[in-house]
């Protein structure tokens, strides 16, 4: 069972608010059927911190971090009750050719470091430990591009919260006290039509994104279309902008002509993330959709909950 601390300060969180890094691996797996799966993975939850420390110590200055997220069905299989108040399966959206797909995924490992070698070593050790209990669904190796730009040429993550606002945006608080310090995590893998995108003028690209390409300055409201990406992903509630923490990464294969962005967003409630997707795919109002989707296609979609490290430790030693 989840510990019931008397204060949030006693809960040790996963490193959700750790500094962004130059390299990352996004690893999504599903649970195999079998009587040993539950025991193997609960034991692993208790051992993950030790596995992490063993890899981290090989280059302590490289900023290695690892966040483990659990999907809705997997939560029921592994932990049962209680469960995070808003955890559910990823909600698919389909409007004509625009499709926010829902794909299989029970566990997420978001591994970050300044260097890919540490990310790869930790992913290898994790799979060596749980490989008999899971099936790999997706593994993406992300990298920071020039000037923190995605492969369509624009800076990604400009509006991330900073300072104390990071925890306020990303971490569950007293509204679900049993899971305080955790975070809801949405991931989507997008593939880009670079030939189509590069055929556009810089001005046309800027109107789709809602920012100047070179300076990253937001377009003036008088000229920024209401269907721009930045307009539709700005969510307000009661006059306050609702923030998420993004750590998107470019990825690709030059030989295969694959160019993409791996979207990952952390938030204290999945409602903010889901409203962003609704605005993008359906439109605000309906039909006023994100024109970036004419050049960028989602091929995966998952929602997870990343509980506190305190919770994971307790599951491995009950």
Active site residues: 156
Helices (H), 140-262: 164-170, 194-198, 202-209, 229-232
Measured over all CA atoms, what is the biggest interatomic distance in the chain, rounded to whole angstroms? Answer: 61
Where do runs of H (alpha helix) occur along 178-236?
194-198, 202-209, 229-232
> Which helix (H) or strand (E) is 189 found in, with range?
strand 183-192
Instruction: Report in angstroms the alpha-carbon separations of 48 from 45, 84, 122.
Output: 5, 21, 10
Contacts of 299 (CB under 8 A, 6+ apart): 101, 103, 189, 190, 191
Is 280 within 8 Å of 290 (Cβ atoms)? yes
Dist. CA 110–CA 282, nearest whole Å: 29
Going by C-alpha positions, the residue among 35, 77, 296 that lies closest to residue 190 is 296
**Tokens 């510990």, residue located:** 3
Instruction: Give the bridge partners for 111, in sequence order.
Output: 25, 66
């Amino acid at each position: 069972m989840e510990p019931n601390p008397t204060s949030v300060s006693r809960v040790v969180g996963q490193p959700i608010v750790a500094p962004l890094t130059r390299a990352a691996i996004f690893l999504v797996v599903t649970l195999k059927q079998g009587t040993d799966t539950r025991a193997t993975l609960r034991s692993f939850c208790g051992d993950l911190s030790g596995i992490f420390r063993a890899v981290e110590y090989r280059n302590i200055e490289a900023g290695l971090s690892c966040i483990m997220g659990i999907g809705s069905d997997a939560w029921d299989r592994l932990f049962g009750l209680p469960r995070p108040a808003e955890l559910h399966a990823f909600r698919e959206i389909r409007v004509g050719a625009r499709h926010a797909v829902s794909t299989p995924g029970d566990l997420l490992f978001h591994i970050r470091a300044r260097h890919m070698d540490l990310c790869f070593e930790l992913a290898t050790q994790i799979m060596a430990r749980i490989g008999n209990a899971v099936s790999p669904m997706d593994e993406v190796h992300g990298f920071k591009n020039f000037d923190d730009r995605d492969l369509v040429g624009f800076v990604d993550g400009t509006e991330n919260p900073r300072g104390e606002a990071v925890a306020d945006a990303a971490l569950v608080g007293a509204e679900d006290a049993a899971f305080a310090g955790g975070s809801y995590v949405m991931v989507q893998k997008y593939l880009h039509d670079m030939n189509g995108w590069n055929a556009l003028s810089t001005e046309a690209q800027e109107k789709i994104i809602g920012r100047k390409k070179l300076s990253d300055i937001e377009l003036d409201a008088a000229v920024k279309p209401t269907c721009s990406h930045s307009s539709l992903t700005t969510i307000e509630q009661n006059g306050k902008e609702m923030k998420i923490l993004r750590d998107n990464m470019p990825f690709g294969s030059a030989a295969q002509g694959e160019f993409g962005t791996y979207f990952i967003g952390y938030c204290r409630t999945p409602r903010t993330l889901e409203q962003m997707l609704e605005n993008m795919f359906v439109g605000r109002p309906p039909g006023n959709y994100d024109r970036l989707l004419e050049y960028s296609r989602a091929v995966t979609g998952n929602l997870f909950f990343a509980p506190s490290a305190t919770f994971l430790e307790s599951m491995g030693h009950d």
